[in-house]
Structure 1
């Protein structure tokens, strides 16, 4: 059965969009894994499926390349918003995810900003296995944790280049403290408005960037008093901007680009 798709990326954080509006949701864990295979499929960090919605331009569901579902993806949300704004010839659109409604806007430069919702800090929101101070977890390196709809664990380090993230990341992702596993961030602070970020992504390995991880990393830095309320986040693939006043929604801004469109044949 043919399935149309669009491949996009946000500073190298690549994702696939399937438009299933006006039809049944075709996605399953097995199909997401097949499409996510970078040799025998299309390959992506995340997959976004657009569905009909009564109170927004679309409802969006997300999948990792390993076939697991996830609650939020900042890069793919911006990509869906960019496509829908182009389709409607508008500069703003509202999308619904499991996190709620997200207002997305396009600047004259083409940059897409999405309201990612409020960060949550309760131990059961993340969730953790037991009640703890989420700003200072009792793990080596004393990371901070928060939820952006998905779990985030942030380490502040002096030298990113000295870290073997491919070996460190999986153990932290699967640590028993994180009952649903976690995304892991390693942040080197350049100054209060600029950080360098590398990521081990839950269910995805090392990406070129991540919108929700950028948000989680900045939010945890602001909680620690290390960062201002508007921060440039430099990932391996490029830069996004995260704004958070300490209360209310977190704003994520950055470019998105179309790569190619095609048809995936599946049985």
Structure 2
């Protein structure tokens, strides 16, 4: 069968979007997700996004990383899907229902309430998640936050000085994190500004990570390093993060449709 796709990105964090709402698609296998996302032999992207009908929201969004694993949330993809939808939309994800509305060249997403309990991250055993008494080489005392997926946030003087390609997978796969973890290295430059780089669980270094920006902003706010509204600058650009008095995180940023195409399913099955 021939399948249509839309290539999109949010701040360079790019996605292949498949729409299974009007017609069923074959089962998304680990091998298929790996083949489609491969940048040399596939279409190439940071995540494969599959849209499906939902009984509880306007649509369901499934997210597959380049390692073939399925994850619960992706902030940049949520903005992209809102832009594709064209109007305010409720999106069912593995991390809960998200409300999004497109705006000028992007979208605002209500990312829900962050979770801080050790077993909600989850961690392998109880500990303080605000300043965890653990470390890896020069990175230590992270804050752990779950914003639909698990994040460890390290605040350091210069996030660009970290060899994230080397230390990222070590922390991601540490037994302390039974579901693995996204690794964020952040530098607070002002009460309203953070610089951030992210090693994404199952994907590696990406140009932007929406949930990482949310987790890092909330971690900085909990530590009283910033105010409750910040700009998070990633290699791909800026996201605006607000943690409201209602305990909900709202993220605003750009999203772009790059192009549309089609492929033979059996070429990647």
Mapped partners of 1:210, 1:9: distance in 2: 11
- 8 A Cα contact 2:106 2:255, kept in partner: yes
Aligned partner of 2:53 in structure 1 is 52
Map residues 153-168 of structure 1 onto 2, 5 A cutoff.
Answer: 153-168=152-167
Aligned partner of 1:8 in structure 2 is 8
Q: What is the DSSP-based 3-state SS (H/G/I as helix, E as strand, rest coil) of the residue aligned with 1:24?
A: coil
Aligned partner of 2:123 in structure 1 is 128
> Greater CA deviation, 254-263 or 48-57?
48-57
Is 1:101 paired with 2:97? yes
Flag structure 1 segments of 5+ consecutive residues without an equivalent: none
> CA-atom RMSD, angstroms?
1.3
TM-score, normalising length: structure 1: 0.94
Aligned partner of 1:23 in structure 2 is 23
Mapped partners of 1:203, 1:43: distance in 2: 15
TM-score, normalising length: structure 2: 0.93
After TM superposition, give the deviation of residue 186 of structure 1 in Å: 0.4
1:56-102: per-residue Cα shift (whole Å, max 9, x none)? 221111110110000001111111111111xxxx3x12211123322
Aligned partner of 2:198 in structure 1 is 199
Mapped partners of 1:100, 1:152: distance in 2: 16
- 8 A Cα contact 2:66 2:203, kept in partner: yes
Mapped partners of 1:2, 1:124: distance in 2: 43
Map residues 1-267 of structure 1 onto 2, 5 A cutoff.
Answer: 1-26=1-26, 27-85=28-86, 90=87, 92-107=88-103, 109-140=104-135, 141-245=140-244, 247-267=246-266
- 8 A Cα contact 1:8 1:260, kept in partner: yes
Flag structure 2 segments of 5+ consecutive residues without an equivalent: none
Mapped partners of 1:237, 1:207: distance in 2: 9
After TM superposition, give the deviation of residue 184 of structure 1 in Å: 0.3
Q: What is the DSSP-based 3-state SS (H/G/I as helix, E as strand, rest coil) of the residue aligned with 2:211?
A: helix
- Give aligned pairs, total: 261
Mapped partners of 2:56, 2:159: distance in 1: 43
CA gap 1:122/1:246 in 2 versus in 1, 3 angstroms: farther
